[in-house]
Amino acid sequence: MPPRYYTVTWDQLHRDSKALAWRLSETAPAGGWLGIVAITRGGLIPAGIIARELDCRVVETVSVITYDEEKRGEPRIAKSPVAAGDGAGWLLLDDLVDTGTTARLVRGLLPHAHFATIYAKPAGRPVVDEFVTEVSQDTWILFPWDTEPQFIAPIARSAPVK
């Protein structure tokens, strides 16, 4: 079976990030979030949008490396957040939770953070507290920073003949 692709445009990413911000505004602790920790690199753009919507001025990053020269390796922390402590009162953001490998590693660093992603796959869903859109595990999400517009043949032309 050919892989499935779900293409996310800049407009859609903005709308989905804003939808997540609405939910997060309702679950924020009293006094608001202390800050946001974005998982780089995918979480940077959603974190910027959500930080604006929640009027959150403190944004930290955590960098996790899971790919080495296009092949999956053991995940490792390349940069830890400085000010987030154990994550209590902090919002942890990423674009996607896939298998949950990165999410579990970062959860170990910030066990008390509220973890939210824009998109979630079934294997990673249990690791996050909140997400906007679920896609199947076999779907490859094409984010706007990874793609360029081009012609794609209709599904009927690429479907196997029965």
Q: Rounded to whole angstroms, how far apart are CA atoms 142 and 144?
A: 7
43 within some domain:
yes
162 within some domain:
no
Structural domain containing residue 58: 4-147
161 within some domain:
no
156 within some domain:
no
157 within some domain:
no
Q: Known binder of ligand: residue 102?
A: yes
Q: Rounded to whole angstroms, how far apart are CA atoms 4 and 7?
A: 10
Q: Known binder of ligand: residue 97?
A: yes
10 within some domain:
yes
Instruction: Tell me which of 13-22, 68-77, 105-114, 129-138 is least confident.
Output: 68-77
Token pair belonging to 73: 């390796």
Q: Rounded to whole angstroms, how far apart are CA atoms 70 and 158?
A: 26
71-116 pLDDT, tens per residue?
A: 667 888 888 888 888 999 999 999 999 999 999 999 999 999 999 9
Please list the active-site residues: 94-95, 98
Q: Known binder of ligand: residue 147?
A: no
| DSSP structural state of residue 146 | G
Specify the CATH number for the domain of residue 32.
Answer: 3.40.50.2020
CA dihedral sign, ordered 8, 9, 14, 15: negative
| DSSP structural state of residue 124 | T
23-35 pLDDT, tens per residue?
A: 999 999 998 999 9
The pLDDT value recorded for residue 161 is 57
